Amino acid sequence: MRVVSYNLRKNAAVGELAQITERHEVDVLCLQEVTTGELPERLEHLVLADATRNNRLGLAVYVRESRFEVRATKLLAVHKSLHDRVLAPANERLLAAHLYDRQRECEVLVGSFHAAPLTASNSLRRKQIAAAHEGMRALAAGVPALMVGDFNYPWFINGLERRLDAEGYRLTRTTEKTYLRYKVFTGYFDFVTSTGFDIERVDVLPAGASDHRAISLEAHLSPAR
């Protein structure tokens, strides 16, 4: 399945979604920093599976209506950073969708994730990632799972990779930097964690109105599936 993830920078890039959906033949679209009340129910061939309701920096997941049946969705609040407690940008940092893939005749889990900003520690973000994975497993245990989004984790990524590998998850980085807000500060912020999927590469789409570049990948069920 073709998955695209995009941090819209407080909804600034919402006008780009229809073109991205059509041009890249998207099966699943995961969004961060959206104003959910302004999202359309449909984007070309995609339908809105679910979205956060109270977050200032919302999350949303769209799926190809002809291919996927949405069996359940789940919003998850994870460990809060000081930034979260003071400014309250987001109560939930994961939106997970349990899908039935009619084309492959199997169940899959897809999550749109947005970790705490760089004012928080890597230790806190690791706890958030672990809690998000646990939340997805609780929604549908043993199902191939893919979590994509803005991890806010540009440094010391090797340590995170080792930890995830020990937990049965693979981290796949992008081919290019995804964060471009400042010329003197760019980095790899958006990537993918998965279990039960093979992902050869994660490409970066051209820059738009957001300070993040959208990422695109093809996820194939592992041969054992």
Q: Give the C-alpha separation, 25 to 46, whole Å.
A: 10
pLDDT tens per residue across all 225 residues of the chain: 999 999 999 999 999 999 999 999 999 999 999 999 899 999 999 999 999 987 788 999 999 999 999 999 999 987 665 555 445 556 789 999 999 999 999 999 999 999 988 888 999 999 999 999 999 999 999 999 999 999 999 888 999 999 999 999 999 999 999 998 766 678 999 999 999 999 999 999 999 999 999 999 999 999 865
Going by C-alpha positions, the residue among 119, 134, 191 that lies closest to residue 161 is: 191
What pLDDT, on a 0 to 100 scale, did the predictor assign at position 84? 58
Measure the CA–CA gap between 37 and 45, rounded to whole angstroms.
20
pLDDT of residue 146: 98
pLDDT in the model for residue 175: 94
Give residue 86's pLDDT: 47
Q: pLDDT at position 170, please?
A: 97
Structural domains for the chain: 2-221 (3.60.10.10)
- Write the CA distances from 55 to 29, 34, 88, integer angstroms: 19, 9, 8
Residue 4 contacts by C-beta under 8 Å, 6 or more apart in sequence?
20, 21, 24, 26, 28, 29, 30, 205, 214, 215, 216
Predicted pLDDT at 119: 85
